[in-house]
Amino acid sequence: MPPEEFRAAAHRAADLMADYLQGVGAYDVVPKIAPGAVRAELPASPPEQGEGIDGILADYKRLIEPNVTHWNHPGFLAYFAITGSGPGVLGEALAASLNVNAMLWRTGPAPTELEETVCDWLRQAIGLPPEFAGHINDTASISTMLALAAARHRLPGLQIRERGLAGRRDLAALTVYASDQAHSSVDKAAIALGIGLENVRKVPSDKRFRMDAQALRVALRDDRAAGRLPVAVVATAGTTSTTSVDPLREIAGICAEAGVWLHVDAAYAGSACVCPEFRALLDGLECADSIVTNPHKWLFTPVDCSVLFVRDPKLLREAFSLVPEYLRTSETGATNLMDYGVQLGRRFRSLKLWMVMRYFGLEGLRARIRSHVAMAQVFAARVDAEPGFERCAPAPFSTVCFRAVPEHLRHDPAAQDAFNEKLLAEVNAAGPVFLSHTKLRGRYVLRLTIGNLRTEARHVDAAWELVLKRAEFLRNAKG
């Protein structure tokens, strides 16, 4: 693509992006299409001859843009809502034009040093001591897997890096601990690391969905007595269903006593720690050996961007560093990012995080997170005040779990579940908002979460009105 053609096309793409972000609220959050609909519109084979960019952009506008689920929609209130903010999108675009592969300092001096710098900014912003060093990965799932690999590497005498796990009679069952509310990425890490699902202990949670620390203590003690080898405890700060925070300080004390690595999954709530009042809810975070937080969840940075903080980066490096001849360089004292994980090639993710942090400033980030929490608290209060509804968990941040309890189904939990499932389908089918669900103690629960910069009080109000209306409709239909 000749430079002048690129320039003109880039201006048009910028217009497409700006128009999209300005008008995204006019779409239904979830496109009303059936599986296969997009594929049916696409040619089955690649074009033999090249095409002009005009036709490609026209097809993007016609076929792609309307048929995504609009995570940038102000009515997106499902899962953990996220934002591709203006500065973040620009960071992505600029990183794409540089197309740097920062596997080594030599192959990406500024990306390497910017990554070190913004991770350290984030460390300070969320209140961690200076010994923590951050590395950017694609997702929390990968960050957690890497942290557990470092934890395993710290165990003396196992030599798993060299000898692997297969056929070894000298190895006790390596065991990982997490609450019954922990994210499935812990299980997936256990699969990938050869620890195995059966060796992930699901520690029960209390009434407020926090890990029962005493149950953890007992599990560690009993497992050791039975000859198992605890590798790590994964505590969660902001669980996926309810955003509960495990008692980090108490768990850290138990881990220290038992000599076990503590990894904290703060994928969601880590961002809230830029506000001192929310950092206080994660008391003890600073005692962890490793922590993951996702700026792509609640720090307005486009997917993907996950930061893994480790107290002793040397362990991560020892677990993974392997330098073939063609990657040897002569610099001394330089960080080579490839040494801190499985992947060699690396996207320049720190650029967008740098632009987000500079554009909003910590004050701006705090104000926006506080406004999300405030909107969620208003929603929670509405649920609490509404007969025929109940809140199903504390809401410490911007996520509210609730359900309808219609009078005619008061004594029939299974029918209540079916009612709420239908209610969610009705609400989401309407178009302007999108909520999600979970199960708590076996009961079907609706979940509303706020994390998008474009969400205003009126969108949350609209969601509540819709919930009330559709619930009334279903009650009248004796749904």
Q: Which is nearer to ligand PLP, 30 or 182 (CB)?
A: 182
In whole angstroms, how close is the CB of 290 to ligand PLP at the nearest point?
A: 13
In whole angstroms, how close is the CB of 294 to ligand PLP at the nearest point?
A: 5
Taking the C-alpha atoms of residue 379 and residue 302, their distance in angstroms, rounded to an integer, is: 26
Please, how many CA atoms are within 13 Å of residue 249, restricted to the half-sphere of its CB? 6
Q: Which is nearer to ligand PLP, 158 or 233 (CB)?
A: 233
Amino acid identity of 189? A
| Region near ligand PLP per CB under 6 A, out of 92-100, 211-219, 262-270, 325-333 | 262-270
According to the binding rule CB under 6 A, does residue 335 interact with ligand PLP?
no
For 125, other C-beta atoms within 10 Å of its C-beta total: 20
Q: Which is nearer to ligand PLP, 140 or 448 (CB)?
A: 140
In whole angstroms, how close is the CB of 225 to ligand PLP at the nearest point?
A: 31
In whole angstroms, how close is the CB of 372 to ligand PLP at the nearest point?
A: 16
Nearest to 423 by CA among 410, 439, 436: 436
Taking the C-alpha atoms of residue 374 and residue 316, their distance in angstroms, rounded to an integer, is: 38
| Region near ligand PLP per CB under 6 A, out of 245-253, 264-272, 313-321, 399-407 | 264-272
Measured at the CA of 39, the angle between CA 37 and CA 41, to 5 degrees, comes to 80
Amino acid identity of 227? G
For 267, other C-beta atoms within 10 Å of its C-beta total: 29
According to the binding rule CB under 6 A, does residue 291 interact with ligand PLP?
no
Taking the C-alpha atoms of residue 16 and residue 416, their distance in angstroms, rounded to an integer, is: 44
Checking DSSP bridges between strand 306-310 and strand 399-404, what pairing results, if any? unpaired
Nearest to 395 by CA among 447, 440, 436: 447
**The one among 27, 71, 76, 80 contacting ligand PLP by CB under 6 A:** 80
**The one among 72, 112, 141, 428 contacting ligand PLP by CB under 6 A:** 141
Residue with tokens 């997490």: 178
According to the binding rule CB under 6 A, does residue 397 interact with ligand PLP?
no
In whole angstroms, how close is the CB of 269 to ligand PLP at the nearest point?
A: 8
Taking the C-alpha atoms of residue 128 and residue 307, their distance in angstroms, rounded to an integer, is: 13
Q: Which is nearer to ligand PLP, 186 or 258 (CB)?
A: 186
Binding mask 179-198 toward ligand PLP (x if CB under 6 A, else -) reads ----x-x-------------
**The one among 83, 175, 199, 294 contacting ligand PLP by CB under 6 A:** 294
Contact call for residues 204 and 215 (beta carbons, < 8 A): yes
| Region near ligand PLP per CB under 6 A, out of 137-145, 201-209, 423-431, 458-466 | 137-145
According to the binding rule CB under 6 A, does residue 391 interact with ligand PLP?
no
Contact call for residues 235 and 265 (beta carbons, < 8 A): yes
Checking DSSP bridges between strand 290-293 and strand 261-265, what pairing results, if any? parallel
**The one among 72, 85, 107, 139 contacting ligand PLP by CB under 6 A:** 139
Please tell me the count of residues contacting ligand PLP according to CB under 6 A: 15
Q: Is the bond into 304 cis (omega within 30 degrees of 0)?
A: yes
User: What is the contact surface with ligand PLP in residues (CB under 6 A)?
Assistant: 80, 139-141, 183, 185, 236, 238-240, 265, 267-268, 294, 306
